[in-house]
Structure 1
Amino acid sequence: MPKPLQYRAGSVIYFQGDVADKIYILQSGKISLNYQDIETGQDIHDSVQAGEFFGVKSALGRYPREETALVLQDATVIAFTVSEFEQFAISNSRIILKMLKVFSNQLRRIHKQVSNLMQNEEQQNPEQGLFRIGEYYLKNRQYAQAKYVFGRYLTYYPAGKLAMQAAKNLEIAESSLARYGEGKGPAPIPESESRAAGGGAGTGSAAPAAAGGSGSALSGVAKAYYDAVSLLTQEKIPQAFSMFKKIVEMNQEPEYVAKSIYELGRCLYLMGKYDECIKHFTAMISTYPRHPELSNALYFMGQSYEKKGDKDRASTFYKKILAMVPDEDDAAHIKAKKALKLLEA
């Protein structure tokens, strides 16, 4: 059952980019939802009033938080799991009506912002407008949002004119998020701007080099990899798994083979094949002891053991990540620390 939680002034209930799994209703106190306006880049501070809920969209949509929830005055909030909130909403029609009103206002505001962004483009094209929003987030180090937007682009426009650039920028966002964490690290140069400046990929190894140095042409293996990434963002996990497996079996380009091996393990986890996930990542670590996704592989192994009910083994993997990645601002460190804390609660 949901229980009241107490927060002191100055504390943070959740940060922008955090994994969303709770919905909150403010009982008393004062909370501000802080985020950056996608049109102007200005900091926005939305106040939450007593009786209002927050964190709903990201929790129900299962994507990272879009804002930071900052406590301005000592507050009491009720935290719901998604299933608890759904049951609560079903039995309380007033909550549903209030949700519709809030979402309607937010959608109108977002529609206006996106429309203004698109009007600044040479062509008022929704495909291009969505891509530009992703670039905006990427340049401002909001990697989780950039990852989400470019993933949505590939879902809506898998064969679009900017699909290859979107896939590259998606890879940049994922690499930057894993390496630096949300809001940190050097600002990546989006792929389209990099080419316009006469350069190659925007962030070194984060974006793949074009085949033959042509600046835009991708090799067959690279294209297959990004097609598989696109399927993964569309949650077509079995299809993505098959494509990554083919890339590994072809064994033509070591960079994409190594990346695909990691993605295979991630697919196994997402498909609920926890024993196979553990076995796969164990083999990967043995073959690639310096794999760039090593800490994330260990995290998925810990998560797999946790799903299997083996909390002791899961704890061992989380502690290994913390020892291996001492930087407390690193995304892998943050995830492992949070998972260990939940495990020990």
Structure 2
Amino acid sequence: MGGSLQGGIMTRAYKPGSIIYFENDKSEYIYILKSGRVILTYTKIDTGEELKEEVRQGEFFGVKSALGKYPREETAQTIGETVVLALSLSDFEKMILKNVNVVRKMLRVFSNQLRRLNRTVRTVLGDSDNVNPQLELFRIGEHYFKIGDFTKAIYAFKKYMEYYPDTDYAKLAMDRIRTINSGGTAADSMPVPGQKKSAPDSFDSFSMDDSDGGFSFDDSPPPASGQKGSSSSGFSAGETGSSSEFSSEIDDFLSDSDDDLGDFSLDEPAKPKGSSLQDVYNRAEASLEMNNYGAALEIFREVITRASPSKPNEKRLFIDSYYNAGVCSFELKDLKGAMNYFAEITRSYSDTDKLKGAMFYIGRIFEMAGQGEKALAYYNKVMNMRPRDSINSKAMDRIQALQKNR
């Protein structure tokens, strides 16, 4: 490994296969990939599965552990000749004070990480995709209360009382707080009369109202407007690639240029930039997560209009926006509009990780239109697609429901 110091940033050159740091190492350095390749190897918290993710040029890594002063959560290894920039915490602080774009990017990524962690927690707790926030918070406290981790339990219950003081579980949350403060255990705590003993073990899935009768689709809906990638033969692709937790977070650092190191100056403040395509997509995603489907749909359409799937750094935003526009149309009960979006994914982007979800939604559309046999055909296709995930389970649930109602 070679190294030099330039303007407060240390430049380090690594040979192929070098380890920049190991999981559980402690270090205050934050890294930026200048050239070459770096692979991050980490363990998925809910399954224990070992995953790998590649850092792209101009991206940070090692940020959270350095800022939080806790051990590294992943191992960073080079692939080929690699050059990285290493910043101490003091250098990093100087940089972010002079570069607003860096702060914006970091906040965006940390926000996405928090949302993904929240989804992982819901999966571990056995929740469905659509949950009541107050019940979710209560159940987190109840989980830690039952296993005896009272520090985390009382924190969750106090937050519940702070945000939801007049709700159904407020009295029960206060009972838990009093029990913990008095040195009691879960066995000593009794539910308040007239209240449930604990939050429900599961939440009902968001139910869709059936559409009006007389609605039908052609087997091959007309394509939606917009640019297309290479055409495929419909639904012949049986397997799709899996996506990891890190991939979307890393993509958040991408801008219209592959090399965004202009943001990383310690001397000159970064020049303000206009609203990027990623910024527009983030606004749409935020509206979707708040169930503001109408606003989200309009913004996703803007991304579709502006993005070009022929450009590698815009293709993901284009396809994700196409898929999410279909989701918004479906939630708004615009079944024909939703069908157009999802069918286009199956025709032109069947090699992406959105294929399975698109096919599931097409099945839902046919089901809501009263065309159960077509719906079953799509659900069965989804059931055989890999990797196995919650979409496969949802397809099985729909198959069982349709067969039960025959």
TM-score range, shorter chain: 0.3 to 0.5
Question: Given the two structures, how large is their TM-score scaled by the length of structure 1?
Answer: 0.44
Question: Given the two structures, how large is their TM-score scaled by the length of structure 2?
Answer: 0.38
Instruction: Report which of the two has the higher share of helix.
Output: 1
The structure number with the bigger radius of gyration is 2
